A and B are shown apart, each in its own frame.
Chain A
Amino acid sequence: MNASDAMAFQPETSPRKTKGGKVIMAVATIVLLGLVAHGVLQRRAAEADLALWTDARAIPTVVVLSPHTGDEPRLFTLPGDVLAFYDAEIHSQVSGYVRIWNRDIGAIVKKGEVLAEIDTPELDEQITQAEQELTRAKDAQTLAETTAQRWGSLRSTAAVSKQASDEKFSDAEVKRADVGAVNAKIARLKAKKAFASVVAPFDGLVTTRNIDIGSLVTPTEGGLPLFKIADIHAMRVYVNAPQTYAASLHEGMVATMSLEQYPGRQFKAKIVATSNAISKSSLTLLVELLAENPDGALQPGAYANVRFSAPQTDQRLHVPSSALVIGRHGVTVATVDDSDRVRFKKIEVHTDYGSEVDVDSGLSPHDRIIDNPLDTLSEGDKVRIRAPAGAEPNSAEGGEPAR
């Protein structure tokens, strides 16, 4: 192609064409401006919608609840030792070898029942010896009495001096007393011999047997008892209550006990006495409870968890602990005022029950308290209130289908 090709298009200005061009230009300008205006307006509208939407999202929805009054008792559990009503250790009064034992551990025994018999050869020997002594003494007494009679009749004849006669009489008296003494000795030995039969001191349960046939028993101090017998018709439960709980424990309070061996079973026990003094060494108050034991299920020596429930005297407002807001300023709750704005109220917690607390001051029963408050709520924030029931999933079942 050469220059002339292009030159051919040098414009020959014609008014018609210019006019047409102007119209086209005008139309194009209007169309473009229209497009721009539309675009700008559309964006504006979308932005305004979005602003509304965003602002609506910025207001949190909350669930409110009212505090309720309640007098739930304060519950606490302490370890306790279960002991028998009476508990006797049976020791031997005689030395000797066990000949036989009749009752084993676990046996229920009646008062006076023979539990074991002890062979006491030494004692028997002593009795025999004493009896022989008695014979001798009796013989001596007989002789002395005969002699005295003789000497008495001789005295009447004044064949002997009064002195000699009195001596014989006195000797007879001594010999009589000797017999008495020997008799007493025999009685003592026999009484001792009676202890060779070990008997139950009261109705109860044999809890320990430390002897067996042939074992040697001696009446020494601090030796092992032959048997232990416990009276278990009722049990005494001793609890060392730490100082903190001391004020809540009173005579007559009823507690429930649970024992490892009876899962699920509760035993009733009643406080019958407290030591009314805090032990210096353990900082505890000794509390004695009595528990009836009709079926013998409670066993002496057992470890029990004793659950006390100390009743609360005043009616206080209760708040679930999920509503508490704990921060720099202590414990507060977020409430909603009449204009649906958040107001924080400082409260004094009296007792903490774990999932609820009761409140000493700071709340009125008509307060609307926000449950599960967001950490970001602050004083004066606007909130939307929703009834708590709606949180159930079925409320959503009626939702519209997705766009």
Chain B
Amino acid sequence: MLPLVRIALRRPYTFVVMAMLIVIFGVISWVRTPVDIFPDIKIPVVAVVWTYNGLPPDDMSGRVVYYYERALSTQVNDIEHIESQSLAGYGIVKIFFQPSVNINAALAQITAASQTVLKLLPPGITPPYVLSFNASSVPILQLALSSDSLSQAKIFDAAQNTIRPALATVAGAAVPSPYGGKVRQVQIDIDQGKMQSYGLSAQNIIEAIARQDLIIPVGTEKIGEFEYVVALNDSPEQIHQLNDLPIRTTNNATVFIRDVAYVHDSNPPQTNVVRVDGSNAVLMTIVKAGSASTIDVIDGIKSLLPRLRETLPESLDLKAVGDQSIFVKAAVHSVIQEGMTAAALTGLMILLFLGSWRSTLIVSISIPLAILSAIAALAATGETINVMTLGGLALAVGILVDDATVWIENINSQIEQDKDIESAIMDCARQIIAPVTVSLMCMSIVFVSMFGLTGVSGYLFRPLAKAVVFALTASYLLSLTLVPTMAHYLLANHGGHSHDTAPSKNPLVRFQRGFEHKFEDLRKFYTRQLARALQLRYRFVFAFLCFVGLSFGMFPFLGRNFFPNVESTQIKLHFRAQAGLRIEEATRLANQIEHTIKGIARPENISSIVDNIGLPISGINAAYGNSGTISAADADVLITLKDGQEKNTEGLIEKLREKLPEAFPGVTFSFLPADIVTQILNFGLPASIDVQVVGADQEANKEYANKMLKRIAKVNGVADARIQQVFNVPTLKVDVDRVAASQVGVTESDIATSLQVTLAGSIQTNPVFWLNPKTGVSYPVVAQMPQYWMDSLDALARVPASHVDSKQILGGLATVSRTVSSAVVSHYSVQPVIDIFASNNARDLGGVSADVQKIISDMDAERPRGTQVILRGQTATMNTAYTQLFAGLALAIVLIYLLIVVNFQSWLDPFVIVSALPSAQAGIVWMLFLSNTTLSVPALTGAIMCVGVATANSLLVITFAREKLASGLDPVSAALEAGYGRFRPVLMTALAMIIGMLPMALSAEQNAPLGRAVIGGLMFSTVATLIFVPVVFSIVHSRRKAE
């Protein structure tokens, strides 16, 4: 390392150029690197969406999903687990992979598996959609489309066929089908009665359309010198022309489609309604997919909008809502601002301590350079600029100050010994390179412990650790190169503290001198106290250890969260009405609920309310969705409060939790995370606690889950406890008397076909399309009895039983009875599962989930045989993260100890250093307890940080003390000397970090607990470093001497 310093002095331009290069590349990386809220959580997930119109969930699960899941488990490698949801008409299989997976091979295998099972599945099923995404694929922007003159079907059409393809060109934007509106479709409203009177069946109509609406190229003909294209009127150009197609001719009478049906531009029965501020609308959700940054995606889409508007009808109102980039920008901005404030404050502090603007200049040039090089390194290793990496850099600022300051301090003190600048620098380098290197290694080891994290927390915190380590390494290298270079120029004749006592008129200088004076008093006071502690060393050590030990008594009161809650103006409310409620009624209910919410929250506080009612039209949406919507009776209500109402959000939620269930009995309400952070952490789940009851005995499991739910709902701090699976969808069971039917020449298949066309439409078994020649969009042609004609049990009984010329009706051959069926069938690892969802309210997640876990073990005796009960969700992720962080911390301490053993070639001195570490943790406990902050992963990161800084500081003191001891002083004096000598730099480092962390600690952001933890930990560990460590040192060495 010394050669570097030598180069810095001999060939100074080298490092000036290096600094310039750092600025250039740092700024380029800063500009180019995508900005996002979180690092990419590259836990690969592939969703496979099966669609079969009208297939009930039980059949979807049994006839499609199980087959497929079994095929997947044998054909696809590296599966971590498979989850699936079977809904009415959709089967969504999500395949979670091991982190080591080759996702492209897996995708190929998944696609192959889909083809393998296709033949075994119900006839007419199409191959599934295969979507690849990851945990950070969450909605980041929504486009709300409304119009006062266009029909809902037209709006949907514009969204689906004009806007969606245009948006797909934005890198990283995944756009599922629009929500709400009506899907444009050519609808053949068939009249079973009329058809029966003509002796026709729906099948005849579909066949007629298929025969008359063709897509057949007829070729060309060469006449004379030209080759003519021959065009045939094989496909009607207007929808209404389909009405005039003949079905058949008997007795000179031609029956046209119009005679028994009505073909028109319409929509299938609506299953999904979106209301923006009370009026119907279409909502397009843009999901972030792939590695593009949130901001880039949103900016890309926003820049497309003006051009897009021109291609849309003028009366279409296009509005962007739920813009997460605001949140991301604000979060990133606040971290940057905190970092800047911290840098400014520490700069001032250094100026105050060093009393020399030249020294301060060196420090304040080296810090941004270190940060810029860290950013360049992060960008080069594929990281983005996000809250975690910026948080890491903000953390690092404090330590960076330390690095540069140590050099400056030391060079100054060398100069004070009347050395010329070059030898001063070289001597300084010789003296401090070893401790500085060891301290860098200590810090790195501490943060490397975070690389052991797996899962979501691993993806979140590895970049943070990386940022810190990069910044520290950069700063270390800079302090070896650029700092000496600059010191060479700047400190040549101005080194040292302003020791000339000539009175100055400059008030700042006088202030600084006053400070120096006070500081000297403080140091004297400190030394006196240290001396006393050394005198009463055993008692002191005992008292100190007692104090530290007792401090940990507060630990259980802290509570544990995964991540601290952030305030937001958004509330996402999910409600589920009685199973089987029709969409029209659910919409009415949503309207009433909206009113109630406005009554409670006051309309002037609300910026907008968006309702999303029912199951989206495409299974892809259901795959991306994370709100647990399973049927038309489900709805999401997104309430956005006016800016500045963040503080009221929590109170409002509590109030809504009180009032809404009372006002709407029979409706289940739950509050889902509205902010992008919790959505990412929940990983597609609508709640933080997910108790899964897995096993084949569904009936018993249902009862068991029900019992468990009752107990979980009573757990202190649990809110929104609910069971996700709905088993009681009202169902009409049509029991055909097959014998009676066969006596009159009707088969089950006749009845099934007739019912299908009447109730579900013909699209699944007889797909026919009509091409709109103007827009080039093909629309499905579907024969279906209009829903409003089928409105009673009597209407069902009247459905023709047969398509042949017969007057048999369903009611004559079948009995209709009531039963229930499932609205969703969920599997986990190819086993049926019941989810009990719950959230924590006003209590820490750790406490709540510990109580839930206790209920699970209490109820183990009642558990049905073969059933497993597992606590999943954020809780599980949190517990893993905590275990890993604690283990990492312990390992880090051991490694540090071993490292220092090598450095000092002693077993005892490293022990002295390590013995100061518990006090840092005690300080964190105090700080969190007093500031009412729960333990969280950021707070633990702070704890890790403190370990690093405390070690580094103690290391300096002990190094000094050992030198003194080696120079022949007795241990007590050596300890006293060390304390006295290191008081200034240690206090400076600690103060720099504490001041640096202040803005973060005082903010209400995600990283506030980190700041608080660092401040608390440093306050205590500094005391420990300055008093406890010297005392222990003296004890240890006195004993050795005595021996």
Interface residues, chain A, with chain B CB atoms under 8 Å away: 1, 3, 5-7, 9-11, 13, 35-36, 39-40, 43, 46-47, 50-51, 53-58, 60-63, 75-79, 240-245, 260, 280-284, 303, 305, 321-322, 324-328, 331, 349, 352-354, 357, 371-376, 378, 381, 384, 386, 390-403
How far does the Cβ of A282 sit from chain B's closest Cβ, in whole Å?
5
CA–CA, A141 and B618, complex, Å? 104
Q: Is chain A's binding surface mostly helix, strand, loop or mixed?
A: mixed
Q: Is the CB of A57 within 8 A of B661?
A: yes
Residues of B within 8 A of A3 (CB): 964, 969, 973, 977
Quick one: which of A245, A376, A397 has the most chain B CB within 10 A? A376
Residues of B within 8 A of A325 (CB): 728
Q: Is the CB of A6 within 8 A of B977?
A: yes
How far does the Cβ of A256 sit from chain B's closest Cβ, in whole Å?
13
Kindly identify, within residues 954 to 982 of chain B, every residue whose CB is under 8 Å from any CB belonging to chain A: 964, 969, 973, 976-977, 979-981
Residues of B within 8 A of A240 (CB): 807
CA–CA, A53 and B653, complex, Å? 13
CA–CA, A392 and B719, complex, Å? 25
Residues of A within 8 A of B979 (CB): 6
Query: Which 3 A/B pairs are nearest by Cβ-Cβ distance?
Result: A242-B812, A372-B666, A396-B599
- A51-B716, A386-B662, A402-B651 in contact; A326/B819 too (CB < 8 A)? yes
Q: Is B726 an interface residue (CB 8 A)?
A: yes
CA–CA, A35 and B601, complex, Å? 36
Q: Is the CB of B665 within 8 A of A62?
A: yes
Q: Is the CB of A393 within 8 A of B794?
A: no
Residues of A within 8 A of B709 (CB): 376
Quick one: which of A244, A280, A378 has the most chain B CB within 10 A? A244
Partner of B723, one of A35, A78, A305, A376: A376
Q: Is the CB of A375 within 8 A of B727?
A: yes
Binary CB contact string for chain B from 830 to 843 against chain A (1 if under 8 A, 0 otherwise):
00000000000111
- A326-B819, A372-B666 in contact; A60/B661 too (CB < 8 A)? yes
Listed A/B pairs (19) with beta-carbon separation below 8 Å: A1-B980, A3-B964, A11-B535, A47-B717, A50-B841, A54-B841, A61-B662, A76-B811, A77-B797, A79-B809, A244-B812, A326-B820, A352-B816, A378-B707, A394-B595, A396-B659, A401-B601, A402-B652, A403-B651
Q: Is the CB of B664 within 8 A of A391?
A: yes
Residues of B within 8 A of A384 (CB): 662
CA–CA, A62 and B664, complex, Å? 8
Partner of B843, one of A50, A78, A284: A50
Q: Is the CB of B602 within 8 A of A402?
A: yes
How far does the Cβ of A157 sit from chain B's closest Cβ, in whole Å?
82
CA–CA, A240 and B595, complex, Å? 52
Q: Is the CB of B601 within 8 A of A402?
A: yes
How far does the Cβ of B517 sit from chain A's closest Cβ, in whole Å?
16
Residues of A within 8 A of B557 (CB): 39-40, 43
Q: Is the CB of A242 within 8 A of B813?
A: yes
Q: Is the CB of B652 within 8 A of A403?
A: yes
Q: Is the CB of A393 within 8 A of B596?
A: yes
Q: Is the CB of A50 within 8 A of B716?
A: yes
- A63-B665, A284-B812, A396-B659 in contact; A5/B592 too (CB < 8 A)? no
Residues of B within 8 A of A393 (CB): 591-592, 595-596, 599
Q: Is B578 an interface residue (CB 8 A)?
A: yes
CA–CA, A13 and B528, complex, Å? 10
Q: Is the CB of A282 within 8 A of B811?
A: no
Interface residues, chain B, with chain A CB atoms under 8 Å away: 191, 193-194, 196-197, 524, 527-528, 530-532, 535, 554, 557, 577-579, 591-592, 595-602, 605, 645, 648, 651-652, 654-655, 657-659, 661-668, 699, 703, 706-707, 709-710, 713-719, 721-723, 726-728, 730, 740, 743-744, 792-795, 797-798, 806-809, 811-813, 815-820, 841-843, 929-930, 932, 964, 969, 973, 976-977, 979-981
CA–CA, A55 and B718, complex, Å? 9
Q: Is the CB of A77 within 8 A of B794?
A: yes
Residues of A within 8 A of B554 (CB): 36, 39-40
Q: What residue of chain A has the Cβ atom nearest to residue B594's Cβ?
A: A393
Residues of B within 8 A of A391 (CB): 592, 663-665
CA–CA, A93 and B1008, complex, Å? 110
How far does the Cβ of B549 sit from chain A's closest Cβ, in whole Å?
14
Residues of B within 8 A of A242 (CB): 808-809, 811-813
Q: Given contacts A13-B535, A322-B578, A399-B599, list 18 more A-B pairs with CB under 8 A.
A: A9-B528, A9-B531, A11-B528, A11-B535, A35-B930, A39-B554, A39-B929, A58-B714, A75-B792, A242-B811, A243-B740, A282-B744, A328-B699, A354-B793, A374-B668, A381-B710, A390-B663, A397-B595
Partner of A47, one of B196, B655, B716, B976: B716
- A61-B665, A391-B592 in contact; A6/B980 too (CB < 8 A)? yes
- A391-B663, A403-B652 in contact; A6/B599 too (CB < 8 A)? no
Residues of B within 8 A of A7 (CB): 973, 976
Residues of A within 8 A of B706 (CB): 376, 378
Partner of A374, one of B605, B666, B843: B666
Residues of A within 8 A of B980 (CB): 1, 5-6, 9
CA–CA, A254 and B595, complex, Å? 48
Residues of B within 8 A of A260 (CB): 191, 193-194
How far does the Cβ of B441 sit from chain A's closest Cβ, in whole Å?
28
- A375-B723, A378-B706, A390-B663 in contact; A77/B798 too (CB < 8 A)? yes
Q: What residue of chain A has the Cβ atom nearest to residue B723's Cβ?
A: A376
Q: Is the CB of A79 within 8 A of B807?
A: yes
Residues of B within 8 A of A354 (CB): 792-794
Q: Is the CB of B929 within 8 A of A50?
A: no
How far does the Cβ of A297 sit from chain B's closest Cβ, in whole Å?
17
Residues of A within 8 A of B730 (CB): 321, 324, 326
Residues of B within 8 A of A40 (CB): 554, 557
- A36-B929, A375-B728 in contact; A76/B652 too (CB < 8 A)? no
Q: Is the CB of A54 within 8 A of B715?
A: yes
- A54-B714, A372-B665, A402-B648 in contact; A79/B929 too (CB < 8 A)? no
Q: Is the CB of A60 within 8 A of B719?
A: no
CA–CA, A195 and B397, complex, Å? 122
- A3-B977, A375-B728 in contact; A57/B713 too (CB < 8 A)? yes
CA–CA, A50 and B716, complex, Å? 6
- A283-B744, A375-B579, A402-B648 in contact; A6/B699 too (CB < 8 A)? no
How far does the Cβ of B1030 sit from chain A's closest Cβ, in whole Å?
11
Q: Is the CB of B728 within 8 A of A371?
A: no
- A375-B727, A396-B659, A402-B605 in contact; A58/B713 too (CB < 8 A)? yes
How far does the Cβ of A267 sit from chain B's closest Cβ, in whole Å?
15
How far does the Cβ of A35 sit from chain B's closest Cβ, in whole Å?
6
Residues of A within 8 A of B716 (CB): 47, 50-51, 54
Q: Is the CB of A283 within 8 A of B655?
A: no
Q: Is the CB of B664 within 8 A of A378?
A: no
How far does the Cβ of B529 sit from chain A's closest Cβ, in whole Å?
9
CA–CA, A36 and B550, complex, Å? 11
Q: What residue of chain A has the Cβ atom nearest to residue B668's Cβ?
A: A374
CA–CA, A394 and B977, complex, Å? 78
Residues of A within 8 A of B727 (CB): 375
Residues of A within 8 A of B719 (CB): 54, 57
Q: What residue of chain B has the Cβ atom nearest to residue A403's Cβ?
A: B651
How far does the Cβ of A298 sit from chain B's closest Cβ, in whole Å?
15
CA–CA, A325 and B716, complex, Å? 30
Residues of B within 8 A of A357 (CB): 818
CA–CA, A289 and B194, complex, Å? 21
Residues of B within 8 A of A374 (CB): 666, 668
How far does the Cβ of B565 sit from chain A's closest Cβ, in whole Å?
15
Q: What residue of chain B has the Cβ atom nearest to residue A258's Cβ?
A: B193
Residues of A within 8 A of B973 (CB): 3, 6-7
Q: Is the CB of B595 within 8 A of A11?
A: no
CA–CA, A242 and B600, complex, Å? 57
Q: Is the CB of A397 within 8 A of B666?
A: no
Partner of B659, one of A11, A39, A372, A399: A399
Q: Is the CB of A75 within 8 A of B666?
A: no
- A9-B524, A54-B719, A57-B657 in contact; A398/B599 too (CB < 8 A)? yes
